[in-house]
A = this chain, B = another copy of it.
Amino acid sequence: MNITGEMLIGQSAIKGQEGTFQAINPATNEKITPDFGAGTQTNVDQACTLAQQAFDTYRETTQEQRASFLEEIATGILALGPQLIERATQESGLPTARLEGERARTVGQLRLFAKVIRDGHYLNATLDSALPERTPPRSDLRLRKIALGPVAVFGASNFPLAFSVAGGDTAAALAAGCPVVVKAHSAHPGTSELVGRVIQQAVATCKLPEGVFSLIIGNGNAVGQALVSHPAIKAVGFTGSRQGGLALMRAAAQRREPIPVYAEMSSINPMFLLPNALAARAAQIGSAFVDSLTMGVGQFCTNPGLVIGLAGEHLAQFQEAASNALKAKAAGTMLTPGIHSAYVSGVERMRAIAGVESVGQGLAATGPCAAQAALFATDAATFLASEQLEDEIFGPSSLIVACKNEDEMRAVAEHLAGQLTATLQLDATDHALAKKLLPTLERKAGRILVNGFPTGVEVSYAMVHGGPFPATSDSRSTSVGASAIDRFLRPVCYQDLPADLLPAALQDGNPLGLSRLVDGALLAT
């Protein structure tokens, strides 16, 4: 497939006229052809207007139609073959195997949402029978969820496939019945165009209204701001920096009609080393931790950036094992020059903080965007006194916090801001302490793991990739897993509607074969 540098607005391909830019290969700092034309507010308006026009038709397509559409996209992504992986490798510096895995995940997400649509639980179909004899009489009441409206999706830099153009936010929104306008991430515009063309083609193949999908290209923040501010847009999906997420939250709150923003922002993913587990296998945990820390050059939202243990010989063993493991870790290429320089200055800032010691490093950096992994240590008193130590350093850097006793460990847990994950390394004899920590961790994190590592986010029914602010802007939701569809739905109640005006989901006889809550009883199918 030819990469042209155009935006995809409905079924059109339009070269943006607001200047051009090229992708950069972070491994070489070289530009990659072709030129991409940046769009204007007018292009945003075109895409959003088409999305609005498509909305009523698209949201009332059958479950089967939307499921087939998602599967068509999945098939089309696979059909791109090596070209997609090669372009994504050039644009992101990520290794081929990682991107192949990410492609499988992207396709798997689309197929999971196809199943979610067909299952239909997301509709929350609920029926309350009329009670004409009651005083006062009760009307016939029926509830289903409908799509929220056109959704703006901002591609993430660190998952050029799985959280970008056809990634989790897009799949969930399309599944819900929402047209999607994607703002391509400037770091991987070619990858974005390839995937965007697949979706554009799937829209045509499935005979859907063209406004179901558009891909906008922008230089700087103006196009993104225009997108979030457009009256047709009813929700926003974003994965990126806290600064970026906060800007979108502000823009959404300042609209004439405020809209929900689902921003997945920053998390340092604390890992608690409980004493007996640490005594039993400090070295083993330390080495496995470094694998998690350096995987993908640490560029995961769930990267373990904080380790909490009790000061003493076992924590020293952990630190030594981690430090040794780190010495063998090559400096991987980061996604963009900007991310790399932010990492370098984050590590320098950490190094300069009084009370923080540098206790480990990976192999020295070689390429232009290569990041040397870094491990720091401090004590709990220092950690509790410095807010800065809680700032996310996006990349392979982590901080070990030594606590004097269990109370201090609990104080550190209580001190933490919202997180995507919290991990406990524990043995059976640690359960008493774990039970004391769990209530705090439940308040702080969207996912709690035992004896694992937070990197690697399963796409399934029970996954929660979310958490209290600043991990996300909305702790009531997840951006990964089947429940992600709930973000793009709202309930509507139908009172005394004649049978032929009722949506199929709510008709007597249950023609769609849905699980429904009928007079308070859940009738599963």
Does A428 touch B at the CB level, under 8 Å?
yes
Q: Is A494's CB within 8 Å of the partner chain B?
A: yes
From B126, B258, B463, B501, A462 is in contact (CB under 8 Å) with B126
A118 and B295 alpha carbons, distance in the complex (Å): 44
Most chain B beta-carbon neighbours within 10 Å: one of A139, A438, A458, A461 = A461
Per the bound structure, the CA–CA distance linking A463 and B148 in Å amounts to: 18
Known A-B contacts A128-B460, A462-B143, A517-B461; A442 and B476 likewise in contact (beta carbons under 8 Å): no
Stoichiometry (number of copies): 2
Contact status B476-A446, CB under 8 Å: no
Question: What residues of chain B lie closer than 8 Å to A482, measured between beta carbons?
Answer: 520
Distance, CA A55 to CA B466, complexed state (A): 21
Q: Is the CB of A497 within 8 A of B121?
A: no
Let me know if A495 is at the binding interface, CB within 8 A.
yes
Q: Across the interface, do A141 and B463 meet the contact criterion of CB distance under 8 Å?
A: yes
Query: A280 → chain B, closest Cβ, in Å?
Result: 15
CA distance A60 to B439 in the complex (A): 9
CB of A473 within 8 A of chain B? yes
Is there contact, CB below 8 Å, between A469 and B257? yes
- Known: A139-B452, A431-B500. Contact between A119 and B257, CB under 8 A? no
Q: Does A439 lie within 8 Å of B56, measured CB to CB?
A: yes
Interface residues of A in 439-494 (CB under 8 A from B): 439-440, 442-443, 445-452, 456, 458, 460-464, 466, 468-470, 473-478, 482-483, 489-494
Which residues of the partner chain B approach A442 to less than 8 Å between Cβ atoms? 146, 492
How many residues of chain A get a CB closer than 8 Å to chain B's CBs? 83
The reply to whether the CB of A524 lies closer than 8 angstroms to some CB of chain B is yes
Contact status A476-B448, CB under 8 Å:
no
| Cβ-based interface call for A418 (8 A) | yes
Indicate if A305 sits at the interface (CB-CB under 8 A): no
How far does the alpha carbon of A482 sit from the alpha carbon of B143 in the complex, in Å?
11
Instruction: Give A434 to B500 CA distance when docked, in angstroms.
Output: 11
Which residues on the B side are within 8 Å of A460 (C-beta)?
128, 138, 141
Which residues of chain B are near A523, meaning CB under 8 Å?
Answer: 524
Q: How far is the CA of A444 from the CA of B442 in the complex (A)?
A: 36
CA distance A521 to B136 in the complex (A): 39
Complex interface residues of chain A between 364 and 418 (CB less than 8 A to chain B): 417-418
Q: In chain A between 504 and 523, which residues have their CB closer than 8 angstroms to a CB of chain B?
A: 515, 517, 519-520, 522-523
Question: Contacts A128-B458, A143-B463, A464-B143; is A497 near B253 (CB within 8 Å)?
Answer: no
Query: Which 9 A-B pairs give the minimum distances between C-beta atoms?
Result: A464-B493, A524-B524, A141-B462, A143-B462, A449-B495, A447-B493, A56-B439, A126-B462, A522-B524
Some 25 contacts from A to B, beta carbons below 8 A apart, are: A55-B443, A119-B522, A126-B483, A139-B458, A141-B462, A143-B462, A143-B463, A148-B475, A257-B470, A426-B498, A435-B501, A442-B492, A447-B495, A448-B497, A449-B496, A450-B497, A451-B496, A466-B491, A468-B490, A476-B489, A476-B491, A478-B491, A515-B524, A523-B524, A524-B524
Interface residues of A (CB under 8 A from B): 55-56, 60, 115, 119, 121, 124, 126-128, 136, 138-139, 141-143, 146, 148-149, 249-250, 253, 257-258, 260, 417-418, 426, 428, 431, 434-435, 438-440, 442-443, 445-452, 456, 458, 460-464, 466, 468-470, 473-478, 482-483, 489-498, 500-501, 515, 517, 519-520, 522-524
